[in-house]
Amino acid sequence: MRKLFCTISAFFLLSVLIAQTANPQDSAWIKDNYTKKEIYITMRDGVKLFTAVYAPKDNSEPHPILMTRTPYSCAPYGEANFRTFWNNHWRYYMRRNYIIVIQDVRGRWMSEGVFEDVRPYNPNKKDKEIDEASDTYDAIDWLVKNQPNNNNKVGIFGISYPGFYSTMAALSNHPSLKAVSPQAPVTDWFMGDDFHHNGAFFQMDGFSFYSSFGKPRPKPTTVGSPGFQFPTRDAYKFYLEAGSTKNLAKLIGDSIAFWHEMYKHPNYDSWWQARNVRNFVNNIPANTATLVVGGLFDAEDCYGAWRTYEAIEKKAKNNNRIVMGPWYHGQWASTDGTKMGNAQFGSNTSTWYQNEIEIPFFMHHLEGKANVEDLAEATVFFTGENKWRNFSQWPAANVENKPIFLQQNGKLDWSKPSNTKGFSEYVSDPAKPVPYTEDVHFSRTVAYMTDDQRFANRRTDVLSFQTEVLTDDITLAGTVIADLLASISTTDADFVVKLIDVFPSDFTYPGDRQAAGSYPMGDYQMLVRGEVMRGKFRNSFEVPVAFTPNKIEKVKFELPDVAHTFKKGHRIMIQIQSSWFPLVDRNPQKFVNIYEAVESDYQKATIKIWHDAKNASNIVLPVLK
């Protein structure tokens, strides 16, 4: 890390942040101390991007610029209408007199031009050729040259899709861009973010998002598009009655361009690979620091945070750090990080992160006023034990990748099975897919990432394997690998693997009185990590291959990294199933292009997971020593 030119003591920094927390500014304060201007910034090809600039009235010294570029609107529009910064931690930056800039990206809302989803980065732009990196460069260049009283230092951050634009900003190579924080960044929409995981289509998120977001906008507007009018509020019922993934395309209509592009590219071809930002992060310059942030239980972009950090670390030569907390999508920017669903974390992890990491990160790089030399390479919260840990590298150096083996009679053990032939089987029926949560609901839940899995454990089409009661704590820190030996009666199937913490029968959280009506936490089966693998991609994501019916084949894939301690007295459980509905579209269990499958293609399959001396299915766990 570069040495500080100017530092303040840790005590002073802490007192500043405590004071900010104790005296949160309200709307009157911000309106009294800030002005808002709405401007158009011209890009190199002549397209003008709508930009809202909130500038402090204090002109006693030059101020840094903190910017977000978004496809979700920089509303409210009108110079008299202020965004509600006072309801989130942005107010801390405004108390420090940062110039806040929010920009509608090309082709969205009030900006001119044509929008393109995850527009590919062009490392060899010529003349007036553009991408999101060049748009960022041009916006920064205009701001530092024309915005009064700026200190020529710019930071950019954003969550989810704005996280993608933050990564693109890091590729802009503008000399004034000093710090970038991609948070839950969209990274690879085929391999692990939002709409596909290991090639399996996450239809529930995709359909609900694109039915409104993807509608064309003929001209700049301040009005969003209405979404699909669902005939029922029961998501399971709606997607099951839709009949097929092909039928969803009929329901969404012809105007959603990206939806139909996805259907044209069922495999991981060059079209998808051009939209994988990891392929280009080597172009991040050394003078742009990056802080990647994500949630351990982010249902949308958990993959993107881990893998963006990993790619930058391997390919770029800049100052790069990662923070992963026990959060759903964007929870780190909220005021409450104490819990998620039924899981409790023992402290307000969100405000801790804001005060101890994000704000000092930007203060250091944009002001030179905070000492972050002690900021760890990886700052990761471990659930189960509920504490933060710091690492000099991630994955941690002192991790043993240790296989735990599936056994007869639903047992799970570190020893390889010795029996000569053994398997567990179930029948996967697309007409009765395994739900991803026991709730009847309309919108995809955020809490399913830590949900109780007892409902699934009771189904005959879900296999469960568990250890004996643990006599010592076991801490996992890194990527989980499912290494299955499977045979199926058809030519394709999905494999969902879930890593679960089984709580003791008498478990309660500290201070929890188990009030009447509270959720019973005794014997709770907490989902720590779940992931799906579309079986036909087991050998290659570019070239799918059919299964040979009843032939034993290896199905090996990664689950996103975990950071969890299984406490003494708990058990480790693994569940395996072949549907996760309606989160993931149903696999017809026939080797076809699923986007083109018709209802008659969907068929039952008998799935056997083998666990004997020759075919020893196991889950590789990253055990922290």
pLDDT tens string 269-292: 999 999 999 999 999 999 999 999
pLDDT at 26: 79
Average of pLDDT values for 530-549? Answer: 98
Percent of the chain with pLDDT over 90: 93
Distance CA 258, CA 209 (A): 11
Q: Which of 22-31, 34-43, 362-371, 527-536 bottoms out in mean pLDDT, i.e. has the lowest? A: 22-31
306-334 pLDDT tens trace = 999 999 999 999 999 999 999 999 999 99
Phi–psi pair at 357, nearest 5 degrees: -125, -60
- Which of the 8 DSSP states describes residue 283? G
> With 80 as the cut, is the pLDDT of residue 127 above it?
yes
- pLDDT of amino acid 533: 98
DSSP symbol at 397: T
Question: What are the E-state strand segments in 97-197?
Answer: 99-104, 150-159, 177-183, 196-197
Crossing angle for the helix pair 245-252 and 235-242, to the nearest 10 degrees = 100
The tens digit of pLDDT for each residue in 16-73 reads 343 344 344 578 899 999 999 999 999 999 999 999 999 999 999 999 999 999 999 9
Portion of the chain with pLDDT greater than 70, in percent: 95
pLDDT band at residue 517, thresholds of 50, 70 and 90?
A: low
User: Rounded distance, CA 344 to CA 346, Å?
Assistant: 6
What does the pLDDT read at residue 571? 98
Distance from C-alpha of 38 to C-alpha of 50, rounded to nearest angstrom: 7
Going by pLDDT thresholds of 50, 70 and 90, the confidence category of residue 511 is: confident
The per-residue pLDDT for 3 is: 32
Q: Kindly tell me the sign of the dihedral angle through the C-alpha atoms of 586, 591, 592, 598.
A: negative
Kindly report the CATH number that applies to the domain delimited by 399-506+517-624: 2.60.120.260
- Tell me the per-residue pLDDT of 488-500, one tens digit each, with 9 for 90 and over: 999 999 999 999 9
Specify the pTM.
0.94
For position 514, what pLDDT does the model report? Answer: 59
Are 570 and 500 in contact by the 8 Å Cβ rule? The answer is: no
The ranges assigned to domains in the chain are: 10-188+275-391, 399-506+517-624
The C-alpha atoms of residue 290 and residue 158 are separated, in whole angstroms, by 12
Signed CA dihedral, 126, 132, 138, 140: sign only: negative
DSSP characters over 427-441: EE-TTSPPBSSS---
Chain position carrying tokens 């979404």:
227
HSE-CB of 7 using CA atoms within 13 angstroms:
10
- pLDDT of amino acid 11: 31
Contact 416, 613 (CB under 8 A): yes
For residue 377, give the DSSP letter.
Answer: S
Of 6-15, 173-182, 209-218, 448-457, minimum mean pLDDT range: 6-15
Sign of CA dihedral 150, 152, 153, 154: positive
Helix axes 245-252, 257-264, angle to 10 degrees: 160
Distance CA 346, CA 103 (A): 37
Determine the average pLDDT of the residues in 174-180.
Answer: 98
Under DSSP, the state recorded for 355 is: I
Closest CA to 425 of 413, 411, 403, 408: 408
Kindly report the CATH number that applies to the domain delimited by 10-188+275-391: 3.40.50.1820
pLDDT bin (cut points 50, 70, 90) of residue 558 is very high
* Alpha-carbon span 378 to 312, nearest angstrom: 13
